[in-house]
Every structure is written in structure tokens, then in C-alpha cells.
Structure 1
Amino acid sequence: MTASVREQGNMRVRDVLALPACRAARLVIPDADLSREVRLAHVIDIPDPERWLRPGTLLLTTGLSWPRDPLALAHFGEELARQEPAGVLLAVPRFFTAFPPEIAAPLAARGVPALELPWEVPFVQVVQEVHEFILRAQADVLERSEAIHRALTRAALGGSLADVAGTLSGQLGRAAALLARDGTSLTPGPAPDSLQARQALDRPGSAPRLLAGGILVPVLLRGQREGGVWVEGGAGQVTDLEVRAAEHAATVAALLMLAQRDLEVREARLGYAFVDTLLEGHFTADPTSQERALRLGFDPQGTYRVALLVLSDALPLSPEGFARRERAAHQVREVLASLGAAPLVTVSLNQVWFLLPENVNPERVWARLGWETGSGVEPPGGLVYGRARPGAEGVAQARAEVLTLAAYARPGELRSYAEVLVPRALSGDRDAQADLVRSLLAPLREARGGEALVATVQALCETGFAQAEAAARLGIHGNTLRYRMDRIEALTGRTLGDAGTRSLWWLALQFDAMNP
């Protein structure tokens, strides 16, 4: 697709027709170009009006000075059309009962709309509304430009490349991506073809260049092109505002890349050793370890989840597999940083391990990675995560727990410990069975009258959740049964009305009987 750059903020003929003063206006020839820009509105009722016209002028006239002879009208129409007005608006019926076809035809040949306006509509109202629209649109563009610049600056202060692309896309209402030097996308979401992007980036200079129906602005790092900012164009067009926003985003991206390179140098020195130490349970509370934890953003007193990305690449990894693993780890680090979490990441074989503070929602991380099935992005693998546990010892315990989930990681899917608890329990995993029983029955047994609550669940399961029959079996009134059911739901946070949850209750009772 060939893109073009157009000025934003100008009025179009279609906007004129939407003005209150022009709602009764009639388009003489339906195929006219209503996207023509209106730069100003001008009333001209003197002889030879074409001499006073400039391209983009909306001409308002009563036709008082127009010729009446058909041949003269046709010649006049040719001269008028040659001036490329935005449109010609004739007040009718007074001097002309309708727009003369001799003038409408040459105007239509050049795509210039011919319009009829009821005589009683004052021209001054039309001119005022047109100019107010143009001034308001230009003011809106300036305001939007300032807002975009402020938003990108905020993203630079505390975000990542993904934040910059997301902010740019959100502000413009267009897809946006930050590209690496080789043309591959550094951020999730739509992006141009990497080969075409690389070829565009290889062209000398720092000026914006058109690409894939949008605009590509090179990112310069110490005078070298190290990537680019791409913004998708709407209907093959990119506005001046979008170009300026992309240029500002390129500057922001360059600053962030410099900061990231410094971080990567430090990370290379420390390596993945610290996270490996945590996962393997070798973390000690000596001053050196505490200092390293502080520098890397790990809180020994904090509560963390362990997450595991299992890549689709088979072992042993090929060179391409190693590259994909590093890209995946890099994206995870970026997303964690964008969410205000320390990028505590390590890799092993075809796996990427990372730690999530308890206050960071795994689903939010997954959404920002953009790897879910159906996203249009080829997911590198599937992500599983365990329960939140406190301290360094909890991290080691969580790692052992998450290892049991690795077999349930499916490409393009995010799965939690709770989600795979039932299949693990059904497969004979004693720990999963105990966890299922504990999650449902322990809150009841620890409450006052807990055994009666467990017996109530048992009776409901055995009677197919028929309340009248369950109450009779327990020898209690129906109101008492409903009171107990409310307590059960409040204590466990699980409803008794959902068919899937009822199955969990039944399973928990069976496993409880099997493992007393």
C-alpha cells in the first residue's frame, strides 16, 4: 500500500454539510469529492469571481454576477473549476432557480462539489461556522500534539519501549510499534513486515519514510540508526500530527535504549546467577547477598509468585531457538519493568523463569506480552504460575510447585496453579489432591460448627443438590439449610449454584475420604 502525508486539522466539504447552517444544502452531483480541504469560506458576488479564488476556498455566491447565456456559463464554469475551489455554494432560488448544469459539469470533472443552499440561510452564518470549525480544529491539533508529547515523556520517565509504543498507539488511535535494527518488532501488537522495515531503515538519512501504509521514523543512537518508530496510517494516509508524534517517540525510544543498554551491561555482569540462587534455595542472609538483592530489586521479606514460560522449541535448542529464548526473556523483562516490578528473570534450556511480586497480576503481565492465542502474534510458548509465597524460602518452594505445572503449559495460554489443580489431582498427584481438599474443606472445618457445614456439603452432593431432600436427610429446616449454604459460600468464596463448582465439591469429598 502506498501511503501519503496530509495536513491534519483542515476542514473537509463533508464537514461543511454537517454544519447547522448547511444542513439544508443539497449536493448537485452525488459523486463529487467531499474530502476536499476547506481552507476558508469567501463570499464573492462581483464579476470575474475566479480571479479572486484560491485553491481550497469555499465559494459562496448568489450568482448575481454570473452570465446567463449557456455558452458563457460553460466557459465561466471551466475558468471557475481551474482555480480548484474546495466547493461552490449557490444560494437558490433567486437569480438562479437551480445550480446551472453548465457550471456543475466542469466542476464535477475536477471533483469540485457543487452545492445549493436555501436562499433564506445567511451567508454570514455559513462563513462564521466554517471559520470557527477551522480554528477549533487547528486548536485541537495543537492541544493533542502537546498532550501526546506529555504522555510520551511520562512513559519515558517510568516505562519501557512497550509503554512508549502503547502510549503512542493509544494517543493516536493507530497501531504503533518500536522496531529493532533488523526490522523486527520490539513491542507486542501489529507491526510492518520485518524485511521491508529493515530495507527502509537501511536507507541513509534520519528523515521519516513511508512504510506499509504508515510512517517509519528512524531511532538514532549516537548517530547510528538502531531501530525505528512505526505508526500505521489510516486509509493509507499519515497526518502531520502523527509524524511529529512518531519523531518525539523516536527521541524517547533512543533515551530508553541507552538506559537499557546500561542496564544490560550490569545484568550481564551479574548474570542470571542471583535468580538461580533464589530458585534453588541457596539464598543466604549475609550482607553480600542482601546487598545484591537490594540492587536487583528483590525483597527478602516480600511475597512472590514464580512464573515459568515454556517455549515451544524442542531440545536441544537451535541457534534460532536460543535467539527466540533471549527475545522472550527480553520482552518479559520489559513488561515487568513497565509494571513497576524488578526484572528478576533467568533462563534454562527452553524455559524462562521469572518472579512476580504479589501485587502484580499475572494476567496483566500476559496481556502486555501479547502472546495469547488469537492475538495475531506467534506465541513463543505457554506460561504457568504458582501460588504467592513469602520470602526467599517461599521462592524455592514455589519453584518446586511450578515444575509440576510445566507439563500443562500450552502455547498461547496462561494457566495458574488453581487451573491445573483438578487435572493434576485426577492424574493421581497426592499434593494436588491435598490442596484441592484443603482449599474447599479446610475453611469449613476451621469455622465454628465446621463439621455440620461439611456434612451439609456431603448431603447436597449425595442428593444432587436437591435442597429439600438434603434438608430432610440432615433433619433440619429448609431455612437452616439455606443459612448453612450462605455460610459455606462466604467462607470458601465459591458458589454452590454453579455446576462446575459443584463437581469440585464432590471431588474434594472423594479425595478427603481417600486420604483421611
Structure 2
Amino acid sequence: MRVLDALKLPSLAGAREVLPGQQTREVMLAHVVDVPEAPRWVTPGTFLLSTGLSWPRDPAVLRALGEDLAACDPAAVVLAVPHFFTAFPHDLAAPMAARGIPTLELPYEVPFARVVQEVHAHILREQADVLRRSERIHRALTRAALSGSVTDVAQTLADGLGWQAVVFGRDGQPLTRGNAPDVAAVTGALARPGNGPRDLSGGTLVPVTLRGGREGGVWVAPHPAPGGLGAAPDLAVRAAEHAATVVGLLLLAQHDAEVREARLGYAFVDTLLEGRFTGDPTAQERAARLGFDPEGAYAVGLLVLGDPLPLTAEGFASRERAAQELRQVLVSLQAPPLVSVNLNTVWFLLPEKVSPGRVWARLGWQGPHAPGGMVYGRVRRGAAAAALGRAETLTLAAHARTGELRSYAEVLVPRALSGDRDAQADLTDSLLGPLRAARGAPGLLETIRTLCATGFSQVETAARLRVHANTLRYRMERIEALTGRSLTDPETRALWWLALQLAELRE
């Protein structure tokens, strides 16, 4: 009930506004207060009735009383006149008008008991009407759920309220049509703590929760057209909460179906990663259905989640959400969702044409508060190479960092320094291999060894090699072209020194 609704009651027909206020303020109850220290008995939303019996006469004290009453945030203040006051004192009305609180004069002969009775009866009728309409909308939403469509749920909600209604996914994208707020505003509202309704763009957003996580939200708002108020706000919020429950049930059924489908994919991907792909007609048919090319080139990737082992129920739910997000990202990049899960990790096969950086960017897991990190190995061709890729990527898992994307090349040095012989071999081969296979290999190898020995001083290197400066620059340019690394980069120089030391150890 609002103040403007109260002023339409028969008992308040003779009320006169003293100073303008916000007549749309919500009335929670009507209360007569004619005792000293009146602010002690006033709560937000009180429709305060008084004869002024205990009000002071001094203007400064009246002004202080007005400020204290305004701080209590009543819906309105009504004074019976004339008796103790011939009119509503301006010193008391001004502080309340400054906060938008209506101040009213009511003829003294109107009984306060009648006003209280009519106000409370109206509030009770409104609440009963909200319950009846809410029940009707709830039954309609339940029937709409049988269609299995969130679009039908949103339309039923909009029809029942006379408001706008839009259903959003977890990423803030609208799942139904409507004049919806922008994605950033929705995701920001969904990120707020708690699962209760929250204000958004002139309406209310109710989060849809599923298995401990937020899967989206239901937004309702009055139509922007004049006169498009529709249902009462309380009814709209209750109905939106019903709709959020129904949407959650629909998403749960949809997720369960997706999980069953994903399990079949998990088994196939596990077959590849474990080297058990036989290539028989049945396996070929399943590969074709899941989008895997046995002759194609793939990198093996791994999402390492931050959930501790053994996984709790929340940890399992977090892993499933991560796998689902990854599948959606792969599909959006036109790659087959070849995904599997194990403990607190999510494995996947990434076609050569799709950059791991694009996958990482679409996931949006950057920063220290991300669910986990991602590592990936080198691209290999053929179904049999998937097992090799898995073994390689598994060695990278210990180097995964939350909120970071790391490649095989990026963790090669830490692995080599920790004594990983495979990493040491890969590091030396990646630098020395192109030189050993090139024409004039002895001269190129001797040049890089001498550069490292002289701290990359070109003058001293040329003198030790007994070659002209131009000859040295030519060799250095060839080394850079063959390895794809600049010799002016301090990090590359350190890698060359390390590679040469490891090569001597191996030899």
C-alpha cells in the first residue's frame, strides 16, 4: 500500500497535504503516537497519526523533532487539526519534506481508530490478493514447465504480471526475448553475494541456483510505457522467485541430459588418452559421431582446478561446471567437445586449427580468483599420438598456476632444471637440433659456444674464432633464423648457455 492509496480511503478523504512529499512511499502500518519521545515508537513505513499533544512549541525544538522523525523514515505524518495545533507547524514539516516524507492535516473530528482500521484492512486485502495471484501464476508456471522451455516460462510470467520478463544464463546472456539489461549489468548483479532478489535496471533480478551455483537469473520489470505498472512489486518478486525455481528445475533436467551425453564422450576420450583406440568400425563410427578425426592433429590440454582432493560434493559440482564451460567454449570455436574428467582435472583434445589462447580467453579464467589454470602440450598427429600427448601434458600439471595459461615450451626450463630428462632433451634439441641439421653445422655450433663463453661479446668472439666481424654477424643471423630466437634477448642467451651445459652432460 502506498500513501496515495491511503489518501483514497474514506476516512482520509478530508486530509490536506501541507508540504509536497513522495506519495508513492510504501505504507507498512498505521500507528497513533501521542507520547513524548515520539521517534522511539516509529519504524520505517509507519503511517504516523498524532494530535500533537506531546509536540513542543519552541520552533528550534520542533525542528529537531522533525529531523528525528524524518530519520525514522515514516511513510507519512498526519496531524489532527485544529486542537493542540491550529495547523501543521512548518518547522516540523520542513525537515520531513526535505526527505520526501508527506505531511498531512486531518480534521480533528475524524477518529484515528477508523483510519487505522481502514489502512490495515487495505493492507490485508492487498496481501491476500498478492497471495491469490501468486498462486495462480505459480500454477501457470508449473504447467509451462511441462513444455520444457524457459521461453514458455518467461512468457507465462510476463502474461501473469503484466510486466517484462526475461530469463538469463550464467554468462548474463538472455535465454528469452525481451528488452533486457546489458550483459555486464546482469553478470554484475548475479555476482553479488546471496541468493535473494536484487534491483537491476528498474526491475528485480532473482538468481537461479542449481547445485550450489548460480546458473542465471529471472528479471522482471514494469513496462516503460505510461500506465504500464502492472502487478504490485511484492507480487512480481514472489512470482519471479517461483519462476526462478521452475527455470532451475528445467535447467537441472537439461544438465542431467547433457551429463549423460558427456559421459559417453568421456569414455571415448579416455580411450584415446589411454592408447586403447582400436580403429575398428565401431570405434570409427563413435569417433565420427563425436567429431574426432583419427588422422587429424591434436594437442592435449588440461584444466587443473583449485579444488583439493578428495573432492567434496561442491568440488564435483565445480568440476562439472568447468567441463561444461569448456565444452561450450569448444563448440563456440567450432571444435568438437572432446572432453573428459579425472579427479580435480579436465582433459581435452584441441584441434591444430584452434589456438589454446582463444580457448583460454573464452573461458575467462584470468586472475588469482579463477577456478584453476590451464596447460597444454605439443600438437601430434594420429589417434595413437593422443596417449603420448597425455603423458607429456601430465608432466606439466605440477607447473599449472591458477588463473594462468602455460604451454609445454613455457615450463620446459623449470622441468629441465628439476632434473626431468625428457625436458632436458627437448630443450637441447629445440636449440641445437636445427643447427646440427643445417649446412655448416660445425661452424654454427662453434660460434654459439664461443658467444656463450665470451658473454656474447661479438668483438671477442670474432677474435677467438679468427673470423671477420661480417662473417660472425652472418652466422648469428643464420642461428636466429634456424631457431626462431633473437640472440639479443637476455632470456634466449640464458637458454643457450643452459642448453649447451645440458648437451655436455648428455654427451
After TM superposition, the score normalised by the length of structure 1 is: 0.54
State the shift of 1:260 in Å: 6.6
Shift of the alpha carbon at 1:194?
Answer: 6.0
Distance 1:285 1:195, change over 3 A: same
Q: Is 1:211 matched with 2:209?
A: no
Residue 222 (structure 2) pairs with residue 228 (structure 1): no
The 5 Å alignment of 1:198-277 reads 198-200=195-197, 210-211=199-200, 216=205, 227-228=216-217, 264=258, 267-268=261-262, 270-277=264-271
Match of 2:416 in 1: 425
| 1:336 maps to amino acid | L
SS at match of 1:476: coil
Mapped partners of 1:161, 1:192: distance in 2: 8
Residues 450 and 257 of structure 1, relative CA distance in 2, 3 Å threshold: farther
Residues 165 and 366 (structure 1 numbering): CA distance in 2 closer, same or farther, change over 3 Å?
farther
Q: Which residue of 2 aligns with 1:285?
A: 279
2:502 matches 1:505: no
1:316 and 1:372 map into 2 onto residues whose CA distance is: 25
| Equivalent AA in structure 1 for residue 370 of structure 2 | P
Q: CA RMSD in A?
A: 3.7
Asked if 1 retains the 8 angstrom alpha-carbon contact of 2:376 and 2:393, the reply is yes
Q: Helix, strand or coil: the match of 2:432? A: helix
Shift of 1:268: 4.7
Deviations 1:87-146 (A, max 9, x none): xxxxxxxxxxxxxxxxxxxxxx9xxxxxxxxxxxxxxxxxxxxxxxxxxxxxxxxxxxxx
2:357 corresponds to: 363
Aligned in 2, Cα 1:482/1:239: closer, same or farther, shift over 3 Å?
A: farther
* Aligned counterpart in structure 2 of residue 494 of structure 1, from 466, 471, 485: 485
Provide the secondary structure at the position in 1 that maps to 2:463: helix
Please state if 1:310 is matched with 2:308.
no
Q: What's the CA shift for 1:228?
A: 3.0
The answer to whether the 8 A contact 1:176-1:230 is kept is no
Say yes or no: does 1:382 pair with 2:376. no
1:339 aligns with 2:336: no
Contact 1:163 1:338 in 2 (8 A): no
Within-5 A mapping of 1:368-447 = 368-373=362-367, 378-447=369-438
For residues 349 and 265 of structure 1, what CA distance do their matches in structure 2 show?
A: 16
Q: Please name the residue that 1:192 is paired with.
A: 190
Amino acid paired to 1:301? E
1-side partners of 2:185 and 2:377: how far apart? 33
The higher radius of gyration belongs to: 2
Conserved 8 A contact 1:176-1:229: no
Equivalent position SS for 2:481: helix
User: Could you tell me whether the CA contact under 8 Å between 2:480 and 2:486 is conserved in 1?
Assistant: yes
The 5 Å alignment of 1:79-98 reads: none
- Report the number of matched residues: 310
Letter in 1 for 2:461: A
Write the letter of the residue equivalent to 2:184: A
CA distance in 2, matches of 1:476, 1:496: 19
- What is aligned with 1:483? 474
Contact 2:265-2:339 at 8 Å conserved across structures: no
In structure 1, the residue matched to 2:184 is 175
Within a 5 Å distance, the mapping from 1:313-328 to structure 2 comes to 313-328=307-322
Please state how far the C-alpha of 1:366 moved relative to its aligned partner.
Answer: 1.2
Aligned-pair CA distance for 1:199: 3.4
Q: 1:308-356 CA distances to partner (integer Å, 9 max, x unpaired)? A: 1122122111111111111111111111111111111111111111111
Residue identity matched to 1:400: A
8 A contact 1:311–1:382 mirrored in 2: yes
**Would the alpha carbon gap of residues 359 and 495 (structure 1) be closer, same or farther in structure 2, given more than 3 Å must change?**
same
Is contact 1:161–1:334 with CA below 8 Å preserved after alignment? no
Distance 2:324 2:256 in 1: 14
Q: Normalising to structure 2: TM-score of the pair?
A: 0.55
Structure 1 residue 362 displacement after superposition: 1.1
* Contact 1:191/1:230 (8 A) holds in 2: no
What is the alpha-carbon distance in structure 1 between the residues aligned to residue 191 and residue 271 of structure 2? 40
TM-superposition CA deviations, 1:6-55 (whole Å, max 9, x none): xxxxxxxxxxxxxxxxxxxxxxxxxxxxxxxxxxxxxxxxxxxxxxxxxx
Higher relative contact order (CA 8 A, sep 6+): 1
Q: d(CA) in 2 for partners of 1:194 and 1:348?
A: 31
User: CA 1:259 to 1:333, structure 2 compared with 1: closer, same or farther past 3 Å?
Assistant: farther
* Deviations, residues 420-470 of structure 1 (Å, cap 9, x unaligned): 100110111110000001111111111111221111111111010000111
Cα distance between partner residues in 2 of 1:448 and 1:393? 34
Task: Name the CA distance, whole Å, in 2 between partners of 1:346 and 1:495.
Answer: 39
Percent identical pairs in the alignment equals 65
Relative to structure 1, the CA distance from residue 263 to residue 496 in structure 2 (aligned partners, 3 Å threshold; closer, same or farther) is farther
Aligned pairs for 1:161-172 within 5 A: 164=173
Counterpart residue identity of residue 361, structure 2: A
Q: 2:332 corresponds to which letter in structure 1? A: S
Distance in 2 between the 1:477 and 1:214 partners?
Answer: 78
Question: What is the letter of the counterpart of residue 299 of structure 1?
Answer: D
Partner of 2:464: 473
1:454 alignment counterpart: 445
Q: Is the 8 A contact 1:302 1:390 kept in 2?
A: yes
Instruction: Give me the whole-angstrom Cα distance separating, in 1, the residues matched to 2:418 and 2:192.
Output: 44
In structure 1, stretches of 5+ residues that fail to align are: 1-108, 110-159, 178-188, 201-208, 220-225, 241-249
Q: Which residue of 2 aligns with 1:180?
A: none
On the 8 A contact 1:296/1:344 being kept in 2, the answer is yes
Which of the residues 291, 294, 298 maps onto 2:292? 298
Structure 1 residue 173: Cα displacement: 7.1
